[in-house]
Structure 1
């Protein structure tokens, strides 16, 4: 699917359906932040704690994404840039806390890890399905899709890690998954930052008269 539907301008979120989808995803992420933060602390799992922070960042940045829809290209590109920076910071933070897990903390509770991981995966798969028809577009729209898709992948990895923690009796699977999630955050940050910077440069080159050009919304089912 092309978010621009054959036009030169990428889909910018100007769709009632997209806005409703984004509101639903914001609420899902905010609820799961609370659930996973508590579960991660109870189970002593860095993978769950890392994922809870991702839910928090997503709920906040998706709210910003919703707010900038319909605003100038530069506003939307800067919003995406901010998301990219937050993902990069989070990736570094997860790496640091994982190192702490290796040397200080013990083996996480595999049962709690697995149960909450499955719930988080269901929440993220629901978000991915809700956003599927709007997976391409400008940096603002694209960053929402990338974050949701990566979250679903990350949660599947947490569930696998829980099984390996139970099987091996060690915390290393949890540590490895947390490190992989850190890498996923950094990779997504790079993609989002690259696209947002390109859009900011293009907006500057085009001049202010083109800053509010909108692309039509993708048709349902595309």
Structure 2
């Protein structure tokens, strides 16, 4: 017989996801700064993952106290915010297509290694609450865990870049990560739209606009 998820205080859950959001937001600036300095498409794209995870965890915190309508507005704002650095990464990739220069491998690998540590810490922090905080908390845990794999792929790509001296591995991996991030932003927008519709239904308003 399956056991029920352990009870958890909303205050504890809110502190947990806000901590994860703060860690992700802080490392977004670190990774984006290094990426722009060395011209790495994959690092710029990966920094969007940190912004996405910041948005998701903030939405979880908001979901514990805000109304559906307020969460919907916040979710759409966050979806737009996620798209801004994704567009910057896409522009960087486009500008490198004719003459892709290899990024500086050492800061790339070191920064990606730091990303592994941050996402690993977030995974560990969220692991104890992944079954207790609902589907969004489980999704946040899985996203952090999967991001570790993406960071490892960037480290591997850096080694390939050092071996080949080509900028193409960085561009190709960056484009793949950009596509994933745009999909994630769309999913955040759709969740926000669902909450807007639910808020209108609860208020007895017509659902058609």
TM-score, length basis structure 2: 0.76
Q: Does 1:163 pair with 2:154?
A: no
How far did residue 144 of structure 1 move? 4.9
Instruction: Give the distance between the partners of 1:17 and 1:185, measured in 2 at CA.
Output: 29
Give the superposed CA RMSD: 3.2
For the Cα contact (< 8 Å) 1:88–1:186, is it kept in 2? yes
Query: Any conservation in 2 of the 1:46–1:178 contact (CA below 8 Å)?
Result: yes
Q: Is the 8 A contact 1:29 1:58 kept in 2?
A: yes
Q: CA deviation at 1:60?
A: 6.7
For these two proteins, the number of residue pairs brought into alignment is: 197
Separation (CA, whole Å) in 1 of partners of 2:164 and 2:114: 23
Partner of 1:154: 150
Partner residue of 1:175 out of 165, 171, 175: 171
Q: Which among 170, 174, 183 is matched to residue 187 of structure 1? A: 183
After the TM superposition, which parts of structure 1 deviate over 6 Å for at least 4 consecutive aligned residues? none
Partner residue, 1:93: 88
* Gapped regions of structure 2 (runs ≥ 5): 205-209
TM-score norm. by structure 1 comes to: 0.72
1:31 aligns with 2:26: yes
Give the structure 2 partner of residue 112 of structure 1: 107
Q: Deviations over 1:140-183 (max 9, x none)?
A: x6775576455434322211211221122101111111101111
Contact 2:48-2:82 at 8 Å conserved across structures: no
What stretches of structure 1 of length at least 5 have no aligned partner? 6-12, 209-222
SS in 2 for 1:112: helix
Give deviations 1:61-91, integer Å, cap 9, x for gaps.
7557545640112212322222223333433
